[in-house]
Structure 1
Amino acid sequence: MPRNTKFCYTCDSDEPHRPLTGPEKLWLKERTSLRNVGGFFMCTAPNCRNVRAGFNKRPFDPVIRIPLPD
């Protein structure tokens, strides 16, 4: 399995993920009130954008999806 591939809870399969960008981290901090969001990744499968932590497949209930950039 490639290094950037992780299990996506919403896709129910192994999908490519990437670390969050600066604006995405800021959005997630404001959405969750967490201080540190550096360990979160976003699924890059088409139409998914689900957020997960490194070892936690489902850190939020309900799931949080990063909005599309403006």
Structure 2
Amino acid sequence: MSSGIKFCYTCDTDEPHRPLTDSEKVWLKNRTGQRNVDGYFMCEAPNCRNVRTGFNKHPFDPVIRVPLPD
């Protein structure tokens, strides 16, 4: 599934999402222990940064948010 407008579980609305960058993928792999995180997207709403897959709007409990870049 490509980037675009998807439902965000934490915003409770449809919001723009984008695929994770390479550094965000490394961070998520370390955070979750998953080997493949290519199917994850990040909500681009201000102050959200919630992570979801293309088909699963709530893959983590509690939710995981990508940290702001350094």
Q: Is the pair's TM-score, using the shorter chain for normalization, greater than 0.5?
A: yes
TM-score by length of 1: 0.95
1:5 and 2:37 are equivalent in the alignment: no
Instruction: Report the aligned-residue RMSD.
Output: 0.8
Moved over 2 A (4+): none
What's the CA shift string for 1:6-51, capped at 9, x where partnerless? 0000000000000000000000000000010000000000000000
Count of residue pairs brought into register by the alignment: 68
**5+ residue gaps, structure 1:** none
Distance 2:67 2:4 in 1: 21
Q: 2:38 maps to what in 1?
A: 38
